[in-house]
Amino acid sequence: MRFITTLTLALVITLSLLTVSSHAKNYFPLTPSQKHFTAIIVQLKTFRSVEWESPVSMWVQVPSSQRSRAQELANTIEDRARDALKQAFCVHIYVKKGESLARSCVY
């Protein structure tokens, strides 16, 4: 019985460490300006969600009704973020995850 308990505990610890390490390698801290700009974008009714996929790649989800305005929205965000973030990055507008409708970049 003691062997089974020890084996189960070792298995649980191993799995929890694997889960934490798999999430940690995709994590990067946002700069204060990225956090602030993201909070502003999230508050606008036009956008559903804002995620940073990397330090230089911002993905913004819009409702399907805004699909035709995707490039306009990307350009607007890029224009506003140019001074706010003062960094190179690209904004991607999407409706479904992984399907970029429009992209605008600051270099």
> What domains does the chain contain, in order, with CATH numbers?
32-106 (3.30.300)
Q: Which residues pair with 102 in a beta bridge?
A: 93
- 52-70 pLDDT per residue, tens: 999 999 999 999 999 999 9
In DSSP terms, 90 is beta-bridged to 57, 105
Cβ proximity of 73 and 62 under 8 Å: yes
pTM over 0.75: no
Over the stretch 16-47, which tens digit does the pLDDT of each residue have? 555 444 444 457 899 999 999 999 998 988 89
User: At 5, is the pLDDT very low, low, confident or very high (cuts 50, 70, 90)?
Assistant: confident
